[in-house]
Amino acid sequence: MKTIQHWIDGSPVPGTGTDTAPVFNPATGAEQARVVLGGAADVDTAVTAATKAFATWSESSLTQRTQVMFAFRQLLVEHEEELGRIISAEHGKTVDDARGEIVRGREVVEFACGLGDVLKGSFSDQVSRGVDVHDFRQPLGVVAGIAPFNFPAMVPLWMHPIAIATGNTFILKPSERDPSAANFVAELYRKAGLPDGVFNVVHGGKDAVDAILAHPGIEAVSFVGSTPIAKYVHERATAAGKRVQALGGAKNHAVVLPDADLEYAAGHITAGAYGSAGERCMAISVAVAVGEAADGLVAVLERKAREVEVGPGDRPGTDMGPLVTKAAQERVENAVATAAAQGATVIVDGRGLKIDGHENGFFTGPSLLDHVTTEMDAYRQELFGPVLALVRVDTLDQAIDLINANPYGNGTALFTASGEAARRFQRNVKIGMIGVNVPVPVPMSYYSFGGWKDSLIGDSPIHGPEGIRFYTRPKVVTTRWPQQNHQIAAGFAFPTSS
């Protein structure tokens, strides 16, 4: 049985503990590896290595850091297929979907390659007689990222390239459900010329998380996961004096107006709802049909949901793979049963799906629920599975009110041919990321990713300009260079610009 170890100071290490956790192949249900579970001692070892590396890495030139990023980016391109298959084997998503997340993560690496322009400070000449002012930004030190299972490559890539390119050293705590991608990325960094200790991986569960949140040698923590854990991370880490990025859960709505192209809207909503088995914080989990769009939309959504090809992620032609664990499969299927008991109409029922040759896999098919109300669990809870709930309203304004009343505020989409409706929607919804005829509005790397309300705890979005600000702190320098033959008397009054 393969054992997945930590990666600290440039090489795999077994760590100090003896506890391990199983890593399953979700398509077969079989245990395929064990991952070591680290704790406080392993986090401390990683912090020691990262602190030592920071002394030299933070003083390296911007050219040296971006050269490493260029090399790392090229290695991600060359090993995209291999990394995609590693992700698919542990997460369950299709290989094409896994390759897609690598590409979206690689975009942040490309943004990090161009930090020379982004990190330029400002300069003000002659703010007072003989006085100039300029500013610049410096790295924080050792920083850490705690990543979720659903994007084992992309979400960490939203964190560490910017942190490292700005001169910090990094400790990643990946999900113990699909840990191998993190070690593979660490090896790519080594091949790219990144010095030992700049990027480290500590595997583990809550003990490792708590050690990261409490360690005095870690300056900042980035987290993506559920809202309750995001609140926990934010509270614990800020209490320990750290900066925190804490991105939580979501309940994303796609609104369809009567003037929308229903084939187009339903096709994109189907992909947004069932892609990656719905295990995405930007997945569409609620379709809001406005007025007379409802019946036609349900008919097309039903047809397209039944066309989704479910199977193992490495099988050509598969649209949707299994859920990540048996517990996730059971939770999603129980949610469909609860929805039916609470009065929803089950148009497509994905429960009980068996795939030939993979009867023990964690599969469930797409489920489509109609006549869902805001009181039902299927609407209120983040199901994190291939379940699409359809809610009917009469007007666009009612749809906006529905979205704004929801505690989450990650993403939303509107399908329409009306520019006026789109403008009214994007100005009035209380959501951080909005798509107009775009189902999953994840922004490009040079913008920042972050929701509102319970989808973002605190005020620090991830990657893009906000990522630069998060991983650096500013200095403002006021200078005067008096002529040696002219003595300037010191003044005791508060300085002014006269």
Residue 281 is a catalytic residue: yes
Rounded CA-CA distance 448/467 in Å is 7
Rounded CA-CA distance 111/218 in Å is 25
Q: Which of 102, 109, 281, 290 is catalytic?
A: 281
393, burial (CB in 10 Å: exposed 0-12, middle 13-18, buried 19+): middle
Structure tokens at 166: 């700005």
Non-local CB neighbours of 386 within 8 Å, separated by 6+ positions: 273, 274, 277, 278, 320, 332, 350, 364, 365, 366, 367
The runs of H, that is alpha helices, within 342-442 are: 377-380, 396-405, 419-428
Q: To which residue do tokens 């070892």 refer? A: 45
Rounded CA-CA distance 98/61 in Å is 34
Q: What DSSP designation does 406 have?
A: S
357: nearest Cα among 40, 48, 29, 94: 29
Rounded CA-CA distance 232/228 in Å is 6
Give residue 126's region: left, alpha or beta (phi > 0; psi -120 to 50). left
Beta strands in 2-113 (DSSP E): 2-4, 6-8, 11-13, 20-25, 30-36
Structure tokens at 126: 């002659």
* DSSP letter for each residue of 454-497: TTEESS--BSHHHHHHHHEEEEEEEEE---TTS------SPP--
CA angle 147, 184, 17 (to 5 degrees): 65
Q: What DSSP designation does 340 have?
A: H
Which active-site residues does the annotation give? 281
